[in-house]
Structure 1
Amino acid sequence: MREVLAVPTGVALSDPRQQLFDAAERVLLRTGAAGLTSRAVTAEAGVAKGVLHRHFADFDGFLAELVLDRIARVGAQTTALRGAAGTGSVAGNLTGALTLLFEPVMVAIVALVIARDELRTRLRRAGTARFPLVGEGTAMVAGYLAAERDLGRIAPDADVDTLAPTLIGAAHLLFTERKGSPPEPEALRRVVTTVLAGVTR
């Protein structure tokens, strides 16, 4: 049975973890990693300060769960992208996937992971990639490219383990350079097309 907690406003909080995650994401987008504190999160969520510590051992534990929640979403996206192999165009599929991957909250969470040593340590203990989220994104792209290679839509000698981090790095730079608004889809597509120029058929 789902736990229901009372919040100061008298409104029932039926999913406290998700409400706290959503609040943390809003704070991140508004103030960046430096402004993300337990007090800021609970204030944004409109709950008592003790609610966060009732569900998480400490603030870094909360942040680790926030990142793991995002990694799970990348897992779902990986399945969808692999399912698209053999359909549409390779560049179009990757442009769409990278746009979803590097949406504003994800870019902010990547910056948060870079900024907090203890958070990275906890994520590694949980079995994430060496560079959480970016690593999972790279694996997603590599898996998709391998599937397209098997289908003959990219060259049989294509080095997907080099192409994938190249695409992820280039896309990440493109999204982080455009603060406040994502790059135009055509700009991202040009990056993808350029990286894959020698291997697509």
Structure 2
Amino acid sequence: MPPTGVAMRDARQQLFDAAERILLRDGPNALTSRAVTTEAGCAKGVLHRHFADFDAFLSELVLDRVGRVGAQSAALLDAAGTGTVTDHLVSALTELFSSVAVAIVGLITFRDDLRTRLRASGRTGIPILSEATTMIASYLAAERELGRIAGDADVETLALTLIGSGHLLFAGREGAAPEADAVGKVVRSVMGGILRT
């Protein structure tokens, strides 16, 4: 940890990473500007040099983490037509919810000002969960086009169900994520007779 006052390379990313560690370790109640700068090993003023206020920082943190879902979505779409649909969905849900996504949802729920700021930026729904739902729906639509799921499958409803079930499965856990078998059971139950492969 660099001493206070030492120049930081990519200060924004270091602050985001520090906030993520706090969220994962201690939850949204512990996330303060002082906690973030202490965790990052920098002076409190560093945060305020890069962001108008703490809610602006939190908003940018959420948007940065939403960007990660975009990268995951591209990889999932590239996997369409390969392997099994169930395995891809289990991997996608596990990657999504083993990350900071569950903690970000808690943070958005916990902070009214953050929700207001995110809505003002044109975001609808709960950031990360909304993008994750779009990711799963797009993947399922691609698999439907390839004939690997039923042609009449309602991919939007399936995606909502998978994301909601996945969030509930991963939320509130201390420590280890659920076993892959538990995630697979949820995926197989939701997808039921829709799978063609």
TM range (shorter): over 0.9
Residue 198 of structure 1: how far off its partner (Å): 2.0
How far apart in 2 are the matches of 1:131 and 1:70? 13
Q: Indicate yes or no: 2:90 matched with 1:111.
A: no
Q: Which runs of 5+ in 2 are unaligned?
A: none
CA distance in 1, matches of 2:173, 2:119: 29
1:42 and 1:138 map into 2 onto residues whose CA distance is 33
Q: Which amino acid is the alignment partner of residue 59 of structure 2?
A: A
Paired position in structure 2 for 1:127: 122
Contact 2:105–2:128 (Cα < 8 Å) also in 1: yes
User: Aligned pair 1:157/2:138, yes or no?
Assistant: no
Where in structure 2 are the equivalents of 1:80-119 lying within 5 Å?
Answer: 80-119=75-114
- Comparing 123-132 with 61-70, greater Cα deviation is found at 123-132
Identity across the alignment (%): 65
Contact 1:129–1:136 (CA<8 Å) still a contact in 2?
no
Per the alignment, residue 168 of structure 2 pairs with: 173
The answer (yes or no) to whether the contact 2:148–2:195 under 8 Å persists in 1 is yes
Aligned equivalent of 1:144: 139
Quick one: distance in 1 between partners of 2:5 and 2:154?
57
Cα distance in 2 for residues equivalent to 1:172 and 1:9: 38
Q: Please name the residue that 1:61 is paired with.
A: 56
Give the letter aligned to residue 21 of structure 1.
F
The structure 1 segments of at least 4 consecutive aligned residues displaced by more than 3 Å after TM superposition are 7-12
The separation in 1 between residues aligned to 2:124 and 2:174, in whole angstroms, is: 26
The aligned amino acid for 1:101 is L
Alpha-carbon shift at residue 124 of structure 1 (Å)? 2.0
* TM-score, normalisation: structure 1: 0.93
Q: Distance in 1 between matches of 2:124 and 2:194?
A: 27
- Deviation of 1:27 (Å): 1.1
Tell me whether 1:73 sits opposite 2:68 in the alignment.
Answer: yes
Query: Per-residue deviation at 1:9?
Result: 4.5
SS in 2 for 1:194: helix
Distance 2:95 2:136 in 1: 13
Alpha-carbon separation, structure 1, partners of 2:71 and 2:30: 29
Partner amino acid for 2:125? Answer: R
Which amino acid counterpart does residue 120 of structure 1 have in structure 2? R
Aligned equivalents of 1:145, 1:104: Cα separation in 2: 22
Q: AA paired with 1:99?
A: T
In 1, Cα distance between equivalents of 2:101 and 2:126: 13
TM-score, structure 2 length as denominator?
Answer: 0.95
Q: Which amino acid is the alignment partner of residue 107 of structure 1?
A: V
Report matched runs for 1:31-50 at 5 Å: 31-50=26-45
